[in-house]
Amino acid sequence: MSARVSRTIVFGLLARIAAGSLTVIEGGASTRFGSGPPAATVQVHSERVWPLLLRGSRGLASAYELGLWDSPDLVALVRLAARNAASLDRARAKIEPLLGPPRALAGIWARSTKARRRAEIAAHYDLGNELFERMLDPTLSYSSAVFEHPRATLQEAQVSKLELICQKLDLSPGEHLLEIGTGWGALAIHAARTRGVRVTTTTISREQHAYATAQVERAGLQDRVTVLMRDYTDLTGSFDKLASIEMIEAVGWRRLGTYFDRCSRLLRRGGAMLLQAIVIDDRAYRVERASRSFINTRIFPGGCLPSVEAISSSLARRTDLQIVDLEDITAHYVMTLQCWRRNFESRWPELERLGYDERFRRLWTLYLAYCEAGFAERRICDVQLLLAKPGWRDHGRDRDRVAGLRVAPARALSGSSA
């Protein structure tokens, strides 16, 4: 399709903006769509952008990566898009019954094998520890932090999150904790050091496995922490507690039942599991679960956000686990992503010297802004769920301390831009 025709179609779609306003600047001329806040601006550098924009978020990202357009505020732009997504959601929901069979057939050819899962994880988490050391905090926690107050540093907030997880699980000396999704070892080390528990933690990222193993040795915790490089489907044994922090997004919607069945079988009677998960609205889940977006093709290949309803249904069908607590920490992810984006931008000269190129910078800048806007507009959310086996009892030993770490209201945490 020609650039002129594509531009006409895109302008027709932009004319339907119902909330907020967008100014498009092209060749010295500007066109405004909609009115009022949130307001965003796009500077078009090449007519090649228009056909790409008709490919959805993947085309938008590719065009930005290539430098075909810019915006002075990417977060505002994505928030504007999120505010106007409801009509698109309704249209996509109407055609979902028609798309279901082709997607099911495509799923046969895209089965989630162990080799495929390792390759998909490597595509993101094995990009180099140098990248994550500069973007994250010193604990290398790559999940939402919990800010006890707006002035808390990112590291303080990540330690608060680790502490909250340990308290919700009511970890006690001598217990055996299983962690599915090691990351760079922060939770395993924190739990072993502060609670005196044994920890078995597993990852399928080679970079993370090597880093976490070295960190455990550096902390002198080899006798209490075992770092495996093993797929969750290969895990065996019996554990008192289980934690899985923002790993479920890599499981895929077709394997949610398998994942929870395995978790349940690994837990002893009376055990509990803490699941921190990025979730999508229940009403958008059926449409989004098999879509090919910018995030699940370019950033987290093969990823899929579950919904709370999908999690609950999988638990009921495949396990004896019950949801005994759910806490929404979405407002904290906005602040976490702001910190990551600032770190990424300020440390970019170092990353450039390490070999990361301009296209990578633009793609990851968009990724971080895209996610921040998604959480700020609650298109996506982050929750902590405590799941319990039969026989589990809330002894309340840490209830007061957990209450002290309860998530502050969103208004108190969102003063900067959320």
Placement of tokens 């998909």 in the chain: 120
Q: Give the integer Cα–Cα distance in Å for 78 and 334.
A: 13
Task: Give me the pLDDT at residue 89, please.
Answer: 52
Instruction: Look at residue 238 and tell me if it is in a domain.
Output: yes
Region at 252 (left for phi over 0; alpha for psi -120 to 50; beta for the rest): left
Q: Is 122 found in the same domain as 68?
A: no
β-pair partners for 201:
179, 227
Query: Taking every pair of C-alpha atoms in the chain, what is the biggest distance, in angstroms?
Result: 69
Residues of the chain with pLDDT below 70 are 87-112, 117, 123, 290, 395-418
Q: End of a domain among 84, 103, 127?
A: 84
Are residues 153 and 79 both part of a single domain? Answer: no
Predicted confidence at residue 111, as pLDDT, reads 60
Pair (280, 397) in one structural domain: yes
Note whether residue 304 is domain-resident.
Answer: yes
How much is the pTM? Answer: 0.89
Backbone angles phi, psi at 184, to 5 degrees: -105, 20
CATH number of the domain that residue 195 is part of: 3.40.50.150
**In degrees to the nearest 10, what's the CA dihedral of 119, 370, 246, 415?**
160
Give me the pLDDT at residue 101, please.
53
C-alpha closest to that of 131 among 405, 367, 297: 367
In a domain, 96, yes or no: no
> Are residues 291 and 358 located together in one domain of the fold?
yes
Indicate whether 22 belongs to any domain: yes
Q: Which domain holds residue 53?
A: 3-84
- For residues 233 and 328, membership in a common domain is answered with yes
Assess whether 154 and 66 both reside in one domain: no
Domain boundary among 67, 84, 101: 84
Q: Is 129 found in the same domain as 70? A: no
pLDDT recorded at residue 92: 44
Give the pair of three-digit tokens for residue 175: 């217990």
For the chain, the domain total comes to: 2
Do 40 and 168 fall within a single domain? no
Same domain, residue pair 229 and 301: yes
On whether residue 361 sits in a domain, the answer given is yes
Q: Is residue 110 part of a domain?
A: no
Report if residue 91 sits inside a domain. no
pLDDT tens-digit readout, 36-45: 999 999 999 9
Radius of gyration of the chain (CA): 22
204 falls within a domain:
yes
The values of phi and psi at residue 399, to 5°, are -60, -40
79 and 178 in a common domain: no
Exposed, middle or buried by CB within 10 Å (0-12, 13-18, 19+), for 18? exposed
Q: What gap in Å lies between CA 16 and CA 84, rounded to an integer?
A: 9
Task: Looking at the structure, tell me whether residues 200 and 297 fall in a common domain.
Answer: yes
**Sequence-distant (≥ 6) Cβ neighbours of residue 240 within 8 angstroms:** 175, 176, 177, 267, 268, 271
How many angstroms separate the CA atoms of 300 and 409, rounded? Answer: 30
Active site residues: 371
**Taking the chain, what is the end-to-end CA distance rounded to the nearest angstrom?**
38
- Assess contact for 141 and 163: CB atoms under 8 A: no
Specify whether 344 is located in the same domain as 299. Answer: yes
